[in-house]
Amino acid sequence: MNRNDIIEILSLSGPDSITALYAKANALKISAIGNKVYLRGLIEFSNICCKNCYYCGIRRDNQAVNRYELNDKEILTAVDFAWKNGYGSVVLQSGEQQSAHFTGRITRLLHEIKAYTGNEIGITLSCGEQTAATYKEWFQAGAHRYLLRIETSDKELYYRLHPNDEKHSFDARLSAIRQLRIEGYQVGTGVMIGLPFQTIEHLADDLLFFQSMDIDMAGMGPYLEHSQTPLYQYRHLLPSPKKRLELSLKMVAALRLLMPDINIAATTALQVLHPAGREMAVFAGANIIMPNMTLPEFRPDYLIYEHKPGVSDDAALSKSKLEQNLYCAGITIGYGEWGDSQHFMCV
């Protein structure tokens, strides 16, 4: 597929042609990597962040946020739940912190989790930009996948979404993603969809960027406005929620057609726009879901966007709701497997 083909796909408007696109992408997924969906228990272990992304509810300057950091026992309890319930993997996600105290703590936790589960649980990290040495240390301690979204592959748009300063350098973000590959991780990146100032051409270029970076995993979701962020002032420029959902699903389908054997997440943000948004993404070619394992008392403090679903649920309820929905939709779960990216395994 070339750029024009992708633009054409993302511009499809007739319901029949859109349905056919989703069906084609889903069929290609099944023939390339099978029809199972893999679950990653998502543990949002800290909302402390040194960054000030204009779109994010837990940005540094949002004083309204109650900052927290789970202690080791709380993290291990969440891991234990994921492990005992047959989730093959967990994702440890946090805001960005670079102190030696923070990076050393993650290293220690990784060793502890691997020892506790007898290396049964796969660990994905999503803790932002770090030095090559830190990425290396965490990989050696047992993390084998890393998520670091580029947010948009267009440098100009990137600086409309982030302050133009050293802490938010587009080039540094790119180098960090490249470094992750060098250190041996399965590398995941992604973008937000339906941002103010974003065009279909930007999105087509995002998909080509993923291909050129030869990524193993992608997590893309609709942008959702948050009233305590600077980007909120541009909300009049946003496509309708319905359009953002449709565009997000088309992005999933187009990426599946472009990269048949990677892991593609059906992200939680989709669920904000439609209760079955994640299941719809699975039928458009996604194969990963990340149910929230964060303890209920911390969930209201990890609102990167507003109206996040399941804020008052606990891990067991998030799990049973999701599994019930997947079961009803006829989707099979890959229990107890790491569900690694076959793209990575085939290199």
Answer yes or no: are the C-beta atoms of 126 and 147 closer than 8 Å.
yes
- Residue 218 vs 322, nearer CB to ligand 5AD: 218
Please report whether residue 51 would count as binding ligand SF4 according to CB under 6 A: yes
Strand 122-126, strand 288-289: pairing:
unpaired
Please report whether residue 180 would count as binding ligand SF4 according to CB under 6 A: no
Q: Quick one: CA dihedral 59, 65, 71, 73, positive or negative?
A: negative
- What does the per-residue mask of binding to ligand 5AD show for 147-176, with x meaning CB under 6 A? --x-x-------------------------
# binding residues, ligand 5AD (CB under 6 A): 12
Q: Which of 37, 58, 224, 288 touches ligand SF4 by CB under 6 A?
A: 58
Q: Measure CA 117 to chain center.
A: 24
Min. distance of Cβ 48 from ligand SF4 in angstroms?
9
CA distances from 247 to 203, 264, 347 (A): 9, 15, 31
- What does the per-residue mask of binding to ligand 5AD show for 249-278, with x meaning CB under 6 A? --------------------x---------
Length of the chain counted residue by residue: 347
Q: Which two tokens stand for residue 202?
A: 């930007």
Cα separation, 85 vs 83, in Å, equals 5
Answer yes or no: are the C-beta atoms of 54 and 158 closer than 8 Å.
no
3-state secondary structure 35-51: CEEEEEEEEEEECCCCC
Please report whether residue 53 would count as binding ligand SF4 according to CB under 6 A: yes
Look at residue 205 and give its three-state secondary structure: helix
Partner from ligand 5AD, ligand SF4, none binding residue 49, C-beta < 5-8 Å depending on class: ligand SF4
- What does the per-residue mask of binding to ligand SF4 show for 266-305, with x meaning CB under 6 A? --------------------------------------x-
Contacts to ligand 5AD from residues 300-339, by CB under 6 A: 304-305
128: left (phi over 0), alpha (psi -120 to 50) or beta: left
Q: Which of 21, 39, 42, 56 touches ligand SF4 by CB under 6 A?
A: 56
Please report whether residue 95 would count as binding ligand SF4 according to CB under 6 A: yes
Please report whether residue 340 would count as binding ligand 5AD according to CB under 6 A: no
With CB under 6 A as the contact rule, which of the stretches 30-38, 45-53, 177-185, 229-237 interacts with ligand SF4?
45-53
Q: What angle do CA 236, 238, 243 make, to 5 degrees?
A: 135
The answer for residues whose C-beta is within 8 angstroms of residue 326's C-beta and 6 or more apart is 37, 279, 282, 289, 333
Residues in touch with ligand SF4 (CB under 6 A): 49, 51, 53, 56, 58-59, 95-96, 128, 304
Residues in touch with ligand 5AD (CB under 6 A): 55-56, 149, 151, 192, 221, 223-224, 226, 269, 304-305
